[in-house]
Amino acid sequence: MTLGGAVAFFLLGLLVASYGPLLPQVQEDFGVSSSSAGLLLGAHAAGGVVGILLAGLGGARLPVRWRLLVAALVVVAGCTGAALAPTWPVLLTCVVLAGSGWGGFELDVNVLFASTRGTRSAAVLTLVSAAFGLGAVLAPAAVAVGAGRTSVLLASAAVAALTIPLLATAPDSARPDTAPGGHRADRTSGPARRAHLTGVQLGLTAVLVVYVGAEAGVAGWMSTHLVHAAGAGAGGAAAVTSSFWIAFTLGRLLAAPISLRLAPAPLLLASLLLAGAGLVLASTGSAVRTGYVLTGLFLAPVFPTAFAWLAARGPLAPGAGALVLAAASAGPVLTAPVIGASHDTWGPSAIPATLLAVVLLDAAVVLGLASRTRHRPAAEPATRTA
């Protein structure tokens, strides 16, 4: 099942990183403007949110393996249709369809590994999700060497089909009433305890929302900064972007063993502060490329660590996971206008500083959560019966 999860995360990275590099070809193929071609990205994001909500809220009664099967089939259908789409409306419709399957995968695979691996949840989730970065590296690289819309999206459909047998052994349930560590989730009914858990889970959701906005901001705006403020050409900017995702993948792999020895709060805080240091370097002319690579390296552990911590705070039913991931997916909607406004007001050189502010905001939320949860366990140990 771990291999199947890694392939699923690879698919998530491959698909989400494909659309940007394909935009010029899409403009040429369908005769649309740059702003219209950008709707492709919005179509994928909209489909993702719909898929997350449907998988978590509408599909809660289905076994996990069946939800994953449905998600895989939807991605296969959407990517195949998008690869062969004869008209612009058909392409957009198929991208929404593929995005909805993508969202189902994002929810169910994250919940599955966060809820079923006990104290190793953060490490296992971090390890398998490193495959996301590998997919994100290969997609733009394939486009750079001449792969077109048809071949890239058909390859994504093939990877989605591969997940079907690999995830066939997934459990019927992600055991949402079991906290990491093998303990039953705390069901204390006292108002104070309920408020504490709810507050922490909402805080961790905020961490994820801001983080996704930061990650998407760095990945989406670094090329603009590199080309227009740092003097890099389009090829150089693409090389730095690939290096960012390579470092991101390496960061996931390195963080897996570290998360077994370091509690979530200090790991998150260290990761965000070091990523902030990378953005400080990216704002300088001489170390801009190194700064972005280091930013990718240190951002990598944040999402899986925060998601596993959220699961450890209490029951993580599919419906709750859906709301968390849907909210996180809205992160770029909140941060993109801020980054764009700073670019329009102060120019492209302001991009790293704005991204730094977003990362430091996330670190402040983590610091507040760490203060609140200190000396307060997430769950009481279950009485052993054997």
Please state the domain extents for the chain. Answer: 1-181, 191-375
The pTM for the full model equals: 0.72
What is the SS3 assignment for 339? helix
- Which residue type is seen at 364? A
Tokens of 157: 């459909």
- Cβ-contact 322, 107 below 8 angstroms: yes
Query: Terminal CA-to-CA distance of the chain, rounded, Å?
Result: 27
Class (C level, CATH) for 1-181: mainly alpha
- Cβ-contact 320, 270 below 8 angstroms: no
Tokens of 306: 């925060």
Burial, 374: exposed, middle or buried (Cβ in 10 Å; 0-12, 13-18, 19+)? Answer: exposed
* Position with higher pLDDT, 51 vs 133: 51
Taking the domain 191-375, which CATH number applies?
Answer: 1.20.1250.20
pLDDT at 121: 59
Does 316 score more than 60 pLDDT? no
Q: Picking from 93-102, 168-177, 257-266, which range would have the lowest pLDDT averaged per residue?
A: 168-177
Percent of the chain residues topping a pLDDT of 70 = 81
Does 257 score more than 80 pLDDT? yes
Does 219 score more than 70 pLDDT? yes
- Cβ-contact 304, 254 below 8 angstroms: no
Tokens of 333: 């909607």
Burial, 130: exposed, middle or buried (Cβ in 10 Å; 0-12, 13-18, 19+)? Answer: buried
Among 208, 179, 181, residue whose Cα is nearest residue 313? 179
The whole-angstrom separation of Cα 227 and Cα 222 is 9
